[in-house]
Amino acid sequence: MSPTLAGWLQVSVLVGALAACYRPLGDWIAHLFTSPRHLRAERALYRLTGVDGDADQRWPVYLRSVLAFSAVSVVFLYVLQRVQNHLLLSLGFPAVKADMAFNTAVSFVTNTNWQSYSGESTMGHLVQMAGLAVQNFVSAAVGIAVVAALIRGFTRSRTDRVGNFWVDLTRVVLRLLLPLAVVLGLVLVAAGAVQNLHGLTDVHTLVGGSQSITGGPVASQEVIKELGTNGGGFYNANSAHPFENPNGFTNWLEVFLILLIPVALPRTFGRMVGDNRQGYAILSVMAVFWVASVALVTFFEAQHHGAAAQAAGAATEGKEQRFGIAASALFAASTTLTSTGAVNSFHDSYTPFGGGVTIFNMMLGEIAPGGVGSGLYGMLVLAVVAVFVAGLMVGRTPEYLGKKLGAREMKFASLYILTTPAVVLVGTGLAMALPGERADMLNSGPHGFSEVLYAFTSAANNNGSAFAGITVSTPWWNTALGLAMLVGRFLPMVFVLALAGSLARQQPVPATEGTLPTHKPLFVGLLTGVVLIVVGLTYFPALALGPIAEGL
């Protein structure tokens, strides 16, 4: 079987599997958000924490809950790292230094999972399990909870209530993420991923040297790393490491896990707003970007420019031979389009345009299909902008799903689309302006610039993957990227929840022939165009100086 055919088969089976899960999983999540009944375990948990499970929160309260929960998480994770040398299972590692602990704590709470440390040589098992793995669950659940609030904004009318954050969070963790993680984690273990509590093991290599390799609870973290679009690897090599991702099947499974929930959420959306076609329309836009990205990255990586690529038949540098071009490109496109940031190959070694596509994927705002929850709310905010402009062109005050888009709604939507580009551009601009930080760059020319651009794009969009090529473990980089992650995660959430509150207050306008249809191919095309133009125009100058200059 030729590699091309194998690649196509892999993608087809993946699409088939995702399609099969779309309805049941999406409906299940919709059920989570609409069912009035609590599980016994949940009731016990609410009693324990003093949460009123039947309360309904106004948007500012919902937001305060999100922020308070996340702030406590950051502090807890920070302290845990700072005192890890006093804790169990530290494997003898010292306390993590302050700036790195801050960066890591923020990184995992914001669902970014940018790692300025090397996992196996910095974090003990307790920090990995009680700190990082827990955040892998809850940071993902926070994103899904926020999109639930936004969808309620569309479905509810004449109310100031958008749901209960604590209930949403608990249900997503207990009824969605945990069961999936347990089952699929076992599949990973069965397929060969490592799961133990071993410390360093000395092994003798084939060429006669010796290595110290850490064992650990790898598979359990691996599964939620992908499922929650987190991306923080147990090992520094992330999914390129054979203990995390041993073979072609696990590689396929990990891509499937990355896409599973983000792809099913449009169904949840369609189901909750009472029109599944709305969900298909949103999914179609996501699919257009995903298919195009996979095709483009594969195409660019299969090109043979340069002597090495010519000899190898493709741009194989930085890619695992186990996976080959197609599976690496599929992984790279999927991980950068979903805010996951797990990698099974070294993006920095991609061809200029192949790497450029991964940067552009993140610049889209992680919306196709995006991070769990955050992808859908990002796409819905862009849909609001698209509907606003298109709605005017049909001669009505724009409305989306019966909700009018007035000054208030546009204020929040505009601020949302403004935030991330501002963080990326200001961060990159600052780094390029400061001579000390420029000195941390290990490469020169457009490629060196691409690495800085990638770092800030990844952090602000909460992706977490890296081009590397910069010494990012310095206090400046740890702090700057940490702030980029914080702002890039929580400021948009403020606007999303405010938008939800403002939508929920409105009485819906009935749909008529004069209403802009938002479930037709025309709208899919329009939204795709708006996303491309808004992102393309914002970042074109920066991209021109990086990947485009390098590639042309």
Partner 1 sequence: MPSPTPTEAGPAGAATLGPVPQPAGTPGRDSGPHRVSGGLLEPGQLLAALPGALRKLDPRVMVRNPVMFVVEVGSVLTTGSAVADPSVFSWSIAAWLWLTVVFANLAEAVAEGRGKAQADTLRRTRTDTTARRLVDWAPGRTGAAEEEVSATALRLGDTVVVEAGQTIPGDGDVVEGVASVDESAITGESAPVIRESGGDRSAVTGGTKVLSDRIVVRITSEPGKTFIDRMIALVEGAARQKTPNEIALNILLASLTVVFLLAVVTLQPMAAYAGAPQTLVVLTALTVALIPTTIGALLSAIGIAGMDRLVQRNVLAMSGRAVEAAGDVNTLLLDKTGTITLGNRQAAEFLPAAGTATGELADAAQLSSLADETPEGRSVVVLAKEKYGLRARQQGELGHAVWVPFTAQTRMSGVDLDEDGTVRSVRKGAAGAVSAWVSDNGGTVGADVGELVERISASGGTPLVVASREGDAAPRVLGVIHLKDVVKHGIRERFEELRRMGIRTVMITGDNPLTARAIAEEAGVDDFLAEATPEDKMALIKQEQAGGKLVAMTGDGTNDAPALAQADVGVAMNTGTMAAKEAGNMVDLDSNPTKLIEIVEIGKQLLITRGALTTFSIANDVAKYFAIIPAMFAAVYPGLDRLNVMQLHSPQSAITSAIVFNALIIVVLIPLALRGVRYRPSSAASLLRRNLWVYGLGGLVLPFAGIKLIDLVVQFVPGLR
List interacting residues with partner 1 (CB under 8 A): 385, 388-397, 402, 405-407, 409-411, 413-415, 417-418, 421-422, 425-426, 428-430, 432-433, 438, 446, 449, 507-510, 512-517, 520, 522, 526, 529, 533, 536-542, 544-545, 548-549, 551-552
Q: How far is the CB of 496 from partner 1 (least distance, A)?
A: 15
DSSP letter, residue 319: B
Compute the least distance from the CB of residue 433 to partner 1, in Å: 4
SS3 content of the chain, % helix, strand, coil (to 5): 70, 5, 30
Nearest distance in Å: CB 428, partner 1: 6
Provide, rounded to whole angstroms, the least separation between the CB of residue 277 and partner 1: 14
Give the C-alpha separation, 153 to 155, whole Å. Answer: 6
Sign, Cα dihedral of 532, 533, 538, 543: positive
State the nearest-atom distance from the C-beta of 6 to partner 1, in Å: 34
The CA-based angle 189-193-195, given to 5 degrees, is: 70
Which one, 385 or 455, has the nearer CB to partner 1? Answer: 385
Cβ 538 to partner 1 shortest distance, Å? 5
Q: Which is nearer to partner 1, 318 or 529 (CB)?
A: 529
Side chain identity, residue 308:
A
Inter-residue contact 357 to 296 (CB < 8 Å)? yes
Strand locations in 387-486, DSSP E? 399-400, 403-404
Cβ closer to partner 1: 31 or 411? 411
Pick 10 or 428: Cβ nearer partner 1: 428
For CA atoms 227, 228, 233, 237, give the dihedral sign: positive
Of 5 and 544, nearer to partner 1 (C-beta) is 544
d(CA 348, CA 351): 8
Closest distance to partner 1 from the beta carbon of 404 (Å): 9
Residue 50: other Cβ atoms inside 10 A: 7
Nearest-angstrom CA–CA distance, 389 and 384: 9
Residue 345 has phi, psi (to 5 degrees) of -155, 170
If the CB atoms of residues 221 and 428 are measured against partner 1, the closer one turns out to be: 428
Find the shortest distance in angstroms from Cβ 5 to partner 1. Answer: 33
- Which one, 202 or 513, has the nearer CB to partner 1? 513
Nearest distance from residue 411's CB to partner 1, in Å? 5
- Report the candidate in 471, 268, 249 with the shortest Cα–Cα distance to residue 375: 268
Alpha-carbon gap, residue 116 to 65, rounded angstroms: 29
Q: In this structure, are residues 239 and 342 in contact, taking their beta carbons and an 8 Å threshold?
A: yes
Q: Are 357 and 540 in contact (CB under 8 A)?
A: no
Q: Where are the beta strands (DSSP E) in 205-290?
A: 210-214
Residue 445 CA to its chain's centroid (Å): 29
Which residue bears the tokens 């031979």?
321
- Which CB, 120 or 550, lies closer to partner 1? 550
CB of 103 to partner 1, least distance (A): 22
Helix (H, G, I), strand (E, B) or coil at 440: coil
Closest separation between CB of residue 328 and partner 1, Å? Answer: 26
- Please provide the distance, in angstroms rounded to a whole number, between the alpha carbons at the two ends of the chain: 34
203 SS3 class: strand
Residue 90 is encoded by which pair of tokens? 């530290």
Looking at beta carbons only, is 128 or 419 nearer to partner 1? 419
| Smallest separation (angstroms) from partner 1 to the CB of 385 | 7
Position 371, amino acid: G
Q: Looking at beta carbons only, is 322 or 438 nearer to partner 1?
A: 438
Nearest by Cα to 227 from 148, 173, 279:
173
Least distance to partner 1 from the beta carbon of 381, Å? Answer: 12
Helices 374-393 and 521-543, packing angle to 10 deg = 110
313 versus 521: smaller Cβ distance to partner 1: 521
Task: Give dist(CA 421, CA 424) in Å, integer.
Answer: 5
Least distance in angstroms from the C-beta of 275 to partner 1: 16
Pairing of strands 210-214, 200-204: antiparallel
Q: Which helix (H) or strand (E) holds 202?
A: strand 200-204
- In 3D space, the residue among 268, 338, 330, 354 whose CA is nearest the CA of residue 13 turns out to be 330
Tell me the residue length of the chain.
552
| Tokens 């601009």, located at residue | 429
CB closer to partner 1 out of 226 and 409? 409
Closest CB to partner 1 among residues 119, 398: 398
